[in-house]
Amino acid sequence: MAAHQEKKPGERNRKNAPNGSRTPQVQWGRAWEVDWFSLASIIFLLMFAPLIVYYFIMSCDQYQCSLIDPLVDLLTGNKHLSDIWNKTPALTYRAAGMYTLWVAFQVVLYVFIPDFCHKFLPGYVGGVQEGAITPAGVVNKYEINGLQAWIITHVLWFANAYYFHFFSPTIIFDNWIPLLWCANILGYVVSTFAMIKGYFFPTNATDCKFTSNFFYDYMMGIEFNPRIGKWFDFKLFFNGRPGIVAWTLINLSYAAKQQELYGQVTNSMILVNVLQGIYVLDFFWNEAWYLKTIDICHDHFGWYLGWGDCVWLPYLYTLQGLYLVNHPVQLGTANAVGILMLGLIGYYIFRVTNHQKDLFRRTNGNCKIWGKKPEYIECSYMSVDGTKHYSKLMTSGFWGWARHFNYTGDLMGSLAYCLTCGFDHILPYFYIIYMTILLTHRCIRDEHRCFSKYGKDWKRYTAAVPYRLLPGIF
């Protein structure tokens, strides 16, 4: 019988605070109890997130990316909701076929083609890798082959779009709204399946969490690492592909559309393609490292990841390119160089900060950070089975400047993408607004979890590194 059926949800595995902290603690990992604010946010997101995505994409389709004009039309009675809806392209067989082929192809690349890139790319870590230890004390193995999937997909894209002419490079842009319906269907099917699976046939019952709140469980997930068979890991697949592989293809399709419409690709579009391309390639080059990030090693798989990876990410992370198709911006050289520098410096901070933690953790502190032995705080925590584990929190390098300086770098890069679009509309700035909320919330969420995990050791760490994102400010 599954372990989650043996005790009432919410009663399981509660332990005293680690390290003698007197604060009442819950087992580290996803929340056991849902406060009213989280519940209200979750219900809001479940109800409105799909509408938000629709609104943004529709406004580019029908209102040249103005977020205000549709509202003005509706409020003044100039248009009714049905007018907007009737002008919205419907789901088509062509889009359904394309999307099915796309997802099926990514599944094949993920499941059936073991990684070969690590055999010839120096420094690249691919093939079978281990994830972080889960709250139940499990260490999962993953087949890391995302870089290979990205390369194969892009080679085929260029060959088919520009050499064999099987399809136009604008194909994604041309079917963008019909594809949105397909992505939504997949997002809901996957999230609902994950919920049912968590109840009836979980991959690892001891790593499941139930809060007794249906909406929270649906949104934040029950199973920690749902899998089908030995290798098809839901989190790794949906987190990276099909959404992130598609990101660069979507941008390429936007660039091709600009070329088709205006006979040229603007420098702002090139900047978006280059800066976001670096971010995507970085993701796949460091896919093994991503196994140790919050998405993979702390979050459970629910609607937040399932629908979010299928719909939110490909549709809202690519708004700058979509905007630039509607409003081609040619930046002055000084602005273009300034934005490029901001993006590259942000990327540098993001990458180096992440690398410092990875190196530190991999070598258990036996490494050099900025030419010196790293400073750190020793800490301990318990897993569900009562085993005591030891860990270290680094207090030097960028990790001595702020507790989440990697987020600061990420935010600088995000701002650079938005700035390529000029200041005429708010829509392209959605990304930096969203990332600021996401990463600030993530800081708080992560610190809450770390405190639950490390207790008084975490307090010693926050005393040593008092700021979260900006030294001296926040």
Binding site for ligand NDP (CB under 6 A): 293-294, 350, 354, 357, 361, 391, 393-394, 399, 404, 406-407, 410, 442, 446, 450, 453
> For ligand NDP, which is the closer residue by CB, 134 or 170?
134
Least distance (Å) from ligand NDP to the CB of residue 399?
4
Q: How many CB atoms lie within 10 A of CB 232?
A: 14
Give the CA distances from residue 238 to residues 75, 145, 411, 473, in Å, rounded to whole numbers and listed in that order. Answer: 38, 14, 23, 36
Least distance (Å) from ligand NDP to the CB of residue 455?
12
Q: Which residue has the tokens 């905007």?
A: 323
> For ligand NDP, which is the closer residue by CB, 181 or 461?
461
> For ligand NDP, which is the closer residue by CB, 361 or 460?
361
Can you tell me the distance from the alpha carbon of 78 to that of 70, in angstroms, rounded to the nearest whole number? Answer: 10
> For ligand NDP, which is the closer residue by CB, 63 or 461?
461
- 31: exposed, middle or buried (C-beta count within 10 Å: 0-12, 13-18, 19+)? middle
Least distance (Å) from ligand NDP to the CB of residue 354?
5
Least distance (Å) from ligand NDP to the CB of residue 312?
9
> For ligand NDP, which is the closer residue by CB, 257 or 404?
404
> For ligand NDP, which is the closer residue by CB, 260 or 446?
446
- Ranked by CB distance to ligand NDP, the top (closest) residue is 293
Measured in Å, how far apart are the chain's first and last C-alpha atoms? 48
Least distance (Å) from ligand NDP to the CB of residue 246?
14
- 33: exposed, middle or buried (C-beta count within 10 Å: 0-12, 13-18, 19+)? exposed
Those residues whose C-beta lies under 8 Å from the C-beta of residue 454, and which sit 6 or more positions away, are 18, 19, 379, 380, 381, 391, 393, 461
> For ligand NDP, which is the closer residue by CB, 261 or 294?
294
Least distance (Å) from ligand NDP to the CB of residue 261?
29
Least distance (Å) from ligand NDP to the CB of residue 293?
3
Can you tell me the distance from the alpha carbon of 299 to that of 289, in angstroms, rounded to the nearest whole number? Answer: 16
In contact, 58 and 88? CB cutoff 8 Å = yes
Can you tell me the distance from the alpha carbon of 26 to that of 35, in angstroms, rounded to the nearest whole number? Answer: 14
